[in-house]
Structure 1
Amino acid sequence: MSRQLDHLVVAARSLEEGAAWCQATFGVVLGPGGQHAFMGTHNRLLRLAGEGFAAAYLEIIAIDPQAPPPGRARWFGLDTPDVQAALALGPQLLHWVLRTDHLQADQQRLATAGHDPGRVQAAERNTPAGLLRWQITVPDDGLLRAGGALPTLITWDGAHPTERMADSGLALLNLQLRGLPAAAAALLPPSRVEPLPGPGPALQARLSCPHGEVLLASPFSVE
């Protein structure tokens, strides 16, 4: 497919807090991750199984206390008071990332419709198995769009992280989105990512795990 869900973004105040939450919520242990030097963040990952979600993962991301300030707004609204207040209550599902074979065209399509997901930037990070490289849209202000429902766009240059990840026992059953602009809805994968009408959380992800089914909801709602 030319477009698929790439990963879910769960933010935490620290990776230690995110790891403890993950084990308590899902009954699984987080895998390794790495540092994003250009954003002053770091992460740990879990592979996601699930019909219709090939090569997908869950990311726990936090501001890296050992990294120097990036000199710009961090992604996913991590610097904002609203996100920081939400994270004070525990790790939160903030966002999702859409993998596309048409990154430049899809970015331009959203920008033209008035829903600019940000400029395309090249990024990379080291792993024990080698360098990961990707291109990703990042708004200059770092803010979430449509409460997090408007996806970040990504394309990988070479290896995908899931190629080096073991099965985690965690499966994504579906992702539901509210407040998604029509221009973005036209880019959705064909199954199990559903735009919903009416008020409610901007994102809801239903997952299967060793503890049973778990529903994660964004702390930000659409009225």
Structure 2
Amino acid sequence: MLFDHLVVGAKTLAEAQAIVENALGLPMQPGGQHSVFHTHNALMGLEDGIYLEAIAPDPAAPKPQRPRWYDLDRFSGPARLSNWACAVEDMTADLDQMPEGVGAPVDVARGSLKWRMAVSQDGTTPFDNLWPALIEWPPGAHPAARLTPTRVRLKRLTLVHPDADTLATALTTHLNDPRVGFEVGPVAMHAVFDTPHGERSL
């Protein structure tokens, strides 16, 4: 697995986008509408080939026929860093090595962009959504290459969970990324960034 992107969830896209822009001091770019899950998003390119996504249910779309990804149907409270995703080259093979509850491959599209995402039947991921969603991009399709450079770099993503040691052991079997750390505590995610305005966090 490779670190792919961070996700800020909210009840509305305006809320998700505002918390990102206020925290990092830079504008996000328009994204679009997603098939299957009927969400919409805005994006911000980060350094090192990753990106930041603000996402929420799309009020202009009908209710999807299955629970939305990123557990958005049960989202409550203020907009916040709520999920993250890691890329894999062969999702079918890699899913056999993952914990129960990561999900099954779903073909998704946003405009002309198409990819596969592992999504569980209830839209969640293991460890109270701290396990990364798995994504498989076609060659040359990664959104980060299409986004305006911002000079924002992720320094640290901290995953906080009551059973952080078990999460760390399970995840580091698949992901070797020094930016990802673990702490014991109530479920939460914290990210620290280097930006043109200095260090900022979500």
Flag whether TM exceeds 0.5 (same fold).
yes
Amino acid corresponding to residue 101 of structure 2 in structure 1: D
4+ residue stretches of structure 1 with deviation over 4 A?
A: none
Report SS of the residue matched to 2:92: helix
TM-score, normalising length: structure 1:
0.81
Q: Identify the residue that residue 123 of structure 2 maps to in structure 1.
A: 142
Match runs of 1:144-223 below 5 Å? 144-158=125-139, 159-178=141-160, 179=164, 180=167, 182-194=169-181, 196-216=182-202
Q: Identify the residue that residue 14 of structure 2 maps to in structure 1.
A: 16
Say whether 1:97 aligns with 2:78: no
Tell me if structure 2 keeps the 8 A contact 1:40–1:68: yes
Question: Which one is further off, 204-213 or 54-63?
Answer: 204-213
Report SS of the residue matched to 1:106: helix
Report SS of the residue matched to 1:143: coil
Cα RMSD of the aligned pairs, angstroms, is 1.8
Post-superposition Cα deviations, 1:21-42, rounded to whole Å, max 9, x if no partner, equal 2222111001121111210100
Distance apart, 1:43 and its partner CA = 0.4
Say whether 1:121 aligns with 2:111: no
The alignment covers a number of residue pairs equal to 196
Tell me if structure 2 keeps the 8 A contact 1:41–1:62: yes
Q: Identify the residue that residue 39 of structure 2 maps to in structure 1.
A: 41
Post-superposition Cα deviations, 1:64-83, rounded to whole Å, max 9, x if no partner, equal 00000001111111111xx2
TM-score, normalising length: structure 2:
0.88
Any unmatched runs of 5+ in structure 2? Answer: none
Tell me if structure 2 keeps the 8 A contact 1:37–1:67: no
User: Which of 61, 69, 72 is 1:75 aligned to?
Assistant: 69
Q: Identify the residue that residue 64 of structure 1 maps to in structure 2.
A: 58
Distance apart, 1:197 and its partner CA = 4.5
Tell me if structure 2 keeps the 8 A contact 1:122–1:135: yes
Q: Label 1:197 to 1:44 Cα distance change in 2 as closer, same or farther (>3 A).
A: closer
Distance apart, 1:125 and its partner CA = 1.5
Aligned equivalents of 1:141 and 1:92: distance in 2? 20
Any unmatched runs of 5+ in structure 1? Answer: 217-223
Aligned equivalents of 2:170 and 2:18: distance in 1? 38
Aligned equivalents of 2:128 and 2:190: distance in 1? 12
Aligned equivalents of 2:88 and 2:6: distance in 1? 15
Q: Identify the residue that residue 27 of structure 1 maps to in structure 2.
A: 25
Report SS of the residue matched to 1:166: coil
Tell me if structure 2 keeps the 8 A contact 1:25–1:211: no
